Structure 1
């Protein structure tokens, strides 16, 4: 169906014909795309023209103009109608009556309307004062009435824009930057705003405005297609939600993907990210060119005054063979021949990143046009330039993006295609898979002084998640891919094996340190056996930190760093020939022993709240001030059933979030009978400040003696404040970690973090009749990843049937 097909129905200016034709167009089976947007715009044009004709007594001196998105004929199902009623200042009463005849039928249909009534002089004056108004007028399109009036306004507005471009373009750039700071980058967001985020439709419109200024132009390759793709997604979003929204929420993504005939929500996000990346890169290049032109214009009169004549050619400073610096960019030398120099792309990229310069898009395009695959294995120079690029730190990101924009990265690393623009459905991750890999290399570049083989660290950092997108465990798949890539790059057999091992075990240290009992010799021996050597351990330690820092703030902390460092120290001792001692609980600290004695004397719990800090000397970059590690809650209580759920429940009632938790039972020295449970937890207040320790203790006493109904209170609070609808979390997973310890059964729990989660876990373990010897609790974003070392009441690992029963009860409790 097209606008022509329904033209007869729109001759009647009443809303009925237009509404029926519009409904058929949007529900008639035509998928989102330019033809439907064009048809919808044509249909709307005809209806509004009919309304104008019925209401205008004299068409001279007045016209109806579409501006903004409607002016570009980019009407999505729920788009606003941006309209300007232009008049020459004639009869005000007639103009007002005509406006009423136009606006009210639009409102009657429930369509959003952005309207104004102005003379050409008023429109130009308003545009001069309001940049957004001027941008809308750049896309002005005549709908009805006096064509000459519309044409003269368009001519004047374009002339104003071009004359004032040196002033207005910096304002537009600042407007784009402020919006990006508020909305984030479209190409990395799990719930992106298709219009407002960086790389979205607003940025694409800004690039059109730059082109209209004649001052600079955006790279055209792929830009039209990227804009079309985002518009198609917005059309489908409007249809599936029935709302005028630009935010692609998680709960809508599967429906939108189906509307667009895509495989799933991941395929949808990947298309969105690819389009956003094209627009964002075009924006970077365009604004750089705008800055260059404006600087050149500002310098031209001064140069002429100094030299008394023409402006000399820009200076070119050598950076590397075939690469020079010119006007703040790395460009190819006049003698460079990409078709005869396969290492040139890597050499140019490394030189640009080392100098902190962007790669000229013309240079990248020329290298891509003449590029040939490197021989296998790569020449030594290619491998060295590749490592140099990865080790250049933050400037490597922009250079890498330039290579990606022209397909040079996948030419060098064909396996990169599977991770390019791949979304990560984990709120802990800030980036897509490919950007996370580059960010990890950037973070690793700051750690190269800690390792003996920085080249292996940097390559492993870039490849550590290369297995994502393949079936099965991405670490296992990545080990094979990384080995192949390392060999193709030209590393020898030993170095290739080290890189593959780093990729295979890149999660080993942090997962072990946060989920296993480091006092258990089996833990340390298992890590030493997997790592194999001190040199690999050193590299793995640095990779672990770089990976976590590149993931996001929830993935790394001083607490995790200290646990990983402790594990590395113990494994290093094994490599030095000092085998871990047989399992033996470490002796309580002086403070823990004091609290334990007080708990025995009081016959109940004793608590201490204190802020933990890390001395500057223990950090990589000391600042002279201690670094806060959070608020530590120390609890000592005589060993008895129900302690874990009681403590966890009381903390939840006081809206304290448990960041980490360790629990262990210790015997008392000097012949004191019995044992005491020591709980060393790091907590944070969900709202406001921390409660007093005395109040926590009072509630804990009541919870232990049964006079405080923790479960009931938590249920009442959840009923009063239900969680946000539409958030569908994956089901919890409860498993037994095989061979994790010879002294206990290790039960792992992975679930959506929620108030009272640890209370429910503790109560389920109590109901299962097991003894919790130690607990290792951590929170990654919205995910809880916990490990519990449990035994029989006699202190032995659980038999197989008992372990399965405990897992079943725990899983059932978490699903309830």
Structure 2
């Protein structure tokens, strides 16, 4: 069916015919994209024009105008109809009656309508007061009635916009910035708002408005395609959900991808991110140009020089060979010859980042068009300029984005293409893979003074996740890739080996510190063997922290930092020749003895809560300069959590009871150690001593007396922990339509020679540790220690378990315990 056929059907059948023709149009998959949007706009135009003609009769001086997205012809299946009934101020009653004849049929069909009735003077006045109204009128399009009335309004509104541009454009820029702060960046969000987020459809409309002002223009390369792609995705989203929504939720991405004929949701997100990146970069360039033009208009010396007959030349300050600063941007010198200087792109980028200035779009385009390939291996200067660029801190980001916009990054590092715009479906990560790598380099630049080889740290930061573009373990794939890349950019064999080790083991320290017993000599020896040298350990420590800080707020904390630092200290001692001491059951502290005696005397649990803190790091450790202007007051110790000591007469069910009570009181367990203390001479039995590290999910810690009272009830069976936790679990937020991955329980036979290590990976939920404790109790094993780690919605818990006599479990029995835990979690 052609658009003419659809229009004729609508005209022949009235509102019912329009609805049928609209439905037919939206279900024709072959008409998706711009053709369907244009056909839907044309169909709606003709229907509204018919309503206008039927309602207006002999009325003159009235016109119907489409504004905003409808004015641009960008009608998605569930888009609002933005309409203005324009009149010359004549017969108000007749105009009101006509408005009713127009609006009610639209409402009757269930279509969203944004409408207004104004004279040209009222429309211009409202536009002058409301920037959003003015933007909508810039796209005004005549539908029916007095064409001259519409044309005169369009002319006046456009003239007002151009005359008021020096005032309105800064207002528009502030509006865009506020929206970006509120909605985030489209190119990084897992559930982006296609319209409101930075780099979305509203920003694309703002760039059209800037162009209409004649004050500046946006880069046009790829902009129309980026806008079209986002509109196509919104169309598919409307059809998939049946709602007027711009948010691309996780549970709808597979269906939207299928509607667009894409392979999967990751392919969909990557296309959305690429489109958003084009629009965001165009916005950055355009708003810089607007600022430059407005500044130039306000500089009176330029005007005086022009009146005197001279034309002032823009000042150019040299930054590096072939690179100068001009008017707040980094540009190429007049004598620069990119075709003869293959290092020039990296030199210009490094100079821009060091100066904290944007790299001119025209300079980047000239470099992309003229610079030749670097030889293999790179010359030393190229490698040094790359390190300088990466070590410049926050300004590196905008310079890197400029290089990416013209394809220079993938020309320098071909492996970058596989991680470019690649989404990370993990709520802990706030960036795409490529942006995370740059953010890690930015964080690593802050640690450059605390390592002996900052160049290796920065390059490892840039490449540590490069393997995520390949199947399998990204650390293993990354090791292979980085060996090739490091040799190509000119590192020798020894440095290449260090970089490969850093990439292969960039998760080793944090995973070991949070999931293994640091008192177990096998733990420390395993890390020492993997790292190899103290110099590599120093680099890996800095890379670990930079990587975590660049991941997101949930990936790093004082607690994790203290555990990693403790592990590094122990491994460093081993690498220096001091073997790790064998753990011994040392004598209990005075505090532990007091609690044990009290538990024996009362026959019930005894608790003690104690906050843990660590002193702040000295400025020299971070590489920051010392503060000036007088001595700064000493910083307060940073909280690491709370130590909870519990002594209770040995009895079945202690571990799940304690875990359940802590979950009821919204306490997160980080580590748990259990040991038995003998009772005084002449008394049979033992006292269990539990040393837990906990943190409050939010709010303040509960009182020890309340915890003890609930623990007493849990141990004597009068407190139904399972029922209480089930109530919380029912209210625990879950994403509609998104099933978590199944739990996975595995053994780590070589992780300890003192106990069997069982590692649990599961969806975090209230009472998870309680359920695991019950399963371990049912399996008849003893828990020496537990190490809990949570990243976003994923929990990774490691249990050091033994048989009743304190020996490691045989392999078959360890497998049975792992299967029992997995079945308990699935149930």
How far is 1:301 from its partner? 5.8
Supply the distance in 1 between the matched residues of 2:55 and 2:326 (Cα, whole angstroms): 60
Match in the other structure for 1:328: 328
Match in the other structure for 1:667: 677
Deviation by residue 1:657-687 (Cα, 9 ceiling, x = unmatched): 415122221435986963422232222144x
How far is 1:314 from its partner? 1.1
Counterpart of 1:187 in 2: which secondary structure? Answer: coil
Q: Contact 1:519–1:584 at 8 Å: present in 2 too?
A: no
Structure 1: gaps spanning 5 or more residues: none
Supply the distance in 2 between the matched residues of 1:360 and 1:419 (Cα, whole angstroms): 25
Q: What's the TM-score once normalised by structure 1's chain length?
A: 0.97
Match in the other structure for 1:279: 279
Counterpart of 1:30 in 2: which secondary structure? Answer: helix
Match in the other structure for 2:241: 241
Match in the other structure for 1:296: 296
Match in the other structure for 2:163: 163
Report whether the alignment pairs 1:433 with 2:433: yes
Match in the other structure for 2:790: 779
Match in the other structure for 1:421: 421
Match in the other structure for 1:94: 94
Supply the distance in 1 between the matched residues of 2:140 and 2:59 (Cα, whole angstroms): 18
Supply the distance in 2 between the matched residues of 1:292 and 1:698 (Cα, whole angstroms): 69
Counterpart of 1:14 in 2: which secondary structure? Answer: helix
Match in the other structure for 1:729: 740
Alignment of 1:133-148 (within 5 A): 133-148=133-148
With over 3 angstroms needed to count, the CA separation of the structure-2 counterparts of 1:307 and 1:539, relative to structure 1, is farther
Q: Contact 2:451–2:539 at 8 Å: present in 1 too?
A: yes
Higher mean displacement: 515-524 or 632-641 = 632-641
Counterpart of 1:293 in 2: which secondary structure? Answer: helix
How far is 1:718 from its partner? 3.5
Q: Contact 1:2–1:43 at 8 Å: present in 2 too?
A: no
With over 3 angstroms needed to count, the CA separation of the structure-2 counterparts of 1:5 and 1:691, relative to structure 1, is same
Higher mean displacement: 615-624 or 473-482 = 615-624
Supply the distance in 1 between the matched residues of 2:540 and 2:384 (Cα, whole angstroms): 21
Deviation by residue 1:110-149 (Cα, 9 ceiling, x = unmatched): 0000000001000000000000000000000111111111
Match in the other structure for 1:543: 543
Supply the distance in 2 between the matched residues of 1:625 and 1:307 (Cα, whole angstroms): 62
Supply the distance in 1 between the matched residues of 2:33 and 2:410 (Cα, whole angstroms): 29
With over 3 angstroms needed to count, the CA separation of the structure-2 counterparts of 1:764 and 1:158, relative to structure 1, is same
How far is 1:721 from its partner? 6.5
Supply the distance in 1 between the matched residues of 2:589 and 2:380 (Cα, whole angstroms): 54
Alignment of 1:736-815 (within 5 A): 736-815=747-826
Q: Contact 1:63–1:146 at 8 Å: present in 2 too?
A: yes
Deviation by residue 1:38-80 (Cα, 9 ceiling, x = unmatched): 1111111111111111111236311110000000000000000
How far is 1:466 from its partner? 0.2
With over 3 angstroms needed to count, the CA separation of the structure-2 counterparts of 1:100 and 1:499, relative to structure 1, is same
Q: Contact 2:62–2:85 at 8 Å: present in 1 too?
A: yes
Q: Contact 2:592–2:689 at 8 Å: present in 1 too?
A: no
How far is 1:625 from its partner? 1.8
How far is 1:630 from its partner? 3.3
Counterpart of 1:188 in 2: which secondary structure? Answer: coil
Deviation by residue 1:522-562 (Cα, 9 ceiling, x = unmatched): 11111111111111111101100100010011111111111
Deviation by residue 1:625-680 (Cα, 9 ceiling, x = unmatched): 221223443323333321221111112222x1415122221435986963422232
Report whether the alignment pairs 1:637 with 2:655: no
Counterpart of 2:783 in 1: which secondary structure? Answer: strand
How many residues are aligned here?
814
Match in the other structure for 2:553: 553
Supply the distance in 2 between the matched residues of 1:272 and 1:589 (Cα, whole angstroms): 59
Counterpart of 1:616 in 2: which secondary structure? Answer: coil
Match in the other structure for 1:505: 505
Match in the other structure for 1:123: 123
Counterpart of 1:807 in 2: which secondary structure? Answer: helix
RMSD: 1.8
Q: Contact 1:13–1:51 at 8 Å: present in 2 too?
A: no
Alignment of 1:456-605 (within 5 A): 456-585=456-585, 588-605=588-605
With over 3 angstroms needed to count, the CA separation of the structure-2 counterparts of 1:59 and 1:414, relative to structure 1, is farther
Match in the other structure for 2:63: 63
Q: Contact 2:429–2:552 at 8 Å: present in 1 too?
A: yes
Alignment of 1:203-222 (within 5 A): 203-222=203-222
How far is 1:696 from its partner? 0.9
Match in the other structure for 1:679: 691
Counterpart of 1:345 in 2: which secondary structure? Answer: helix
How far is 1:452 from its partner? 0.9
Match in the other structure for 1:624: 635
Q: Contact 2:599–2:687 at 8 Å: present in 1 too?
A: no
How far is 1:804 from its partner? 1.3
Counterpart of 1:89 in 2: which secondary structure? Answer: coil
With over 3 angstroms needed to count, the CA separation of the structure-2 counterparts of 1:722 and 1:680, relative to structure 1, is closer
Q: Contact 1:229–1:275 at 8 Å: present in 2 too?
A: yes
Alignment of 1:175-254 (within 5 A): 175-254=175-254
Supply the distance in 2 between the matched residues of 1:405 and 1:307 (Cα, whole angstroms): 40
Q: Contact 1:300–1:311 at 8 Å: present in 2 too?
A: no
With over 3 angstroms needed to count, the CA separation of the structure-2 counterparts of 1:226 and 1:589, relative to structure 1, is farther
Match in the other structure for 1:350: 350
How far is 1:302 from its partner? 6.5
Match in the other structure for 1:373: 373
Supply the distance in 2 between the matched residues of 1:363 and 1:662 (Cα, whole angstroms): 58
Supply the distance in 2 between the matched residues of 1:171 and 1:537 (Cα, whole angstroms): 51
Q: Contact 1:639–1:665 at 8 Å: present in 2 too?
A: no
Report whether the alignment pairs 1:652 with 2:678: no
Counterpart of 2:271 in 1: which secondary structure? Answer: helix
Supply the distance in 2 between the matched residues of 1:383 and 1:94 (Cα, whole angstroms): 76
Match in the other structure for 1:24: 24
Structure 2: gaps spanning 5 or more residues: 623-631
Counterpart of 1:497 in 2: which secondary structure? Answer: helix
Higher mean displacement: 778-787 or 206-215 = 778-787
With over 3 angstroms needed to count, the CA separation of the structure-2 counterparts of 1:171 and 1:529, relative to structure 1, is same
Q: Contact 2:52–2:98 at 8 Å: present in 1 too?
A: yes
Supply the distance in 2 between the matched residues of 1:763 and 1:515 (Cα, whole angstroms): 20
Report whether the alignment pairs 1:257 with 2:257: yes
Q: Contact 1:12–1:50 at 8 Å: present in 2 too?
A: no
Q: Contact 1:592–1:678 at 8 Å: present in 2 too?
A: no
Supply the distance in 2 between the matched residues of 1:41 and 1:548 (Cα, whole angstroms): 49
Higher mean displacement: 621-630 or 395-404 = 621-630
Deviation by residue 1:746-776 (Cα, 9 ceiling, x = unmatched): 1111111111111111111111111111000
Counterpart of 1:4 in 2: which secondary structure? Answer: helix
Deviation by residue 1:553-612 (Cα, 9 ceiling, x = unmatched): 111111111111111111111111111122324665554444334333333222223433
Match in the other structure for 1:151: 151
Higher mean displacement: 587-596 or 560-569 = 587-596
Match in the other structure for 1:104: 104
With over 3 angstroms needed to count, the CA separation of the structure-2 counterparts of 1:590 and 1:566, relative to structure 1, is farther
With over 3 angstroms needed to count, the CA separation of the structure-2 counterparts of 1:585 and 1:433, relative to structure 1, is farther
Supply the distance in 2 between the matched residues of 1:290 and 1:716 (Cα, whole angstroms): 57
Supply the distance in 1 between the matched residues of 2:66 and 2:158 (Cα, whole angstroms): 16
With over 3 angstroms needed to count, the CA separation of the structure-2 counterparts of 1:165 and 1:301, relative to structure 1, is farther
With over 3 angstroms needed to count, the CA separation of the structure-2 counterparts of 1:116 and 1:498, relative to structure 1, is same
Supply the distance in 2 between the matched residues of 1:491 and 1:594 (Cα, whole angstroms): 60
Higher mean displacement: 717-726 or 258-267 = 717-726
Supply the distance in 2 between the matched residues of 1:695 and 1:2 (Cα, whole angstroms): 74
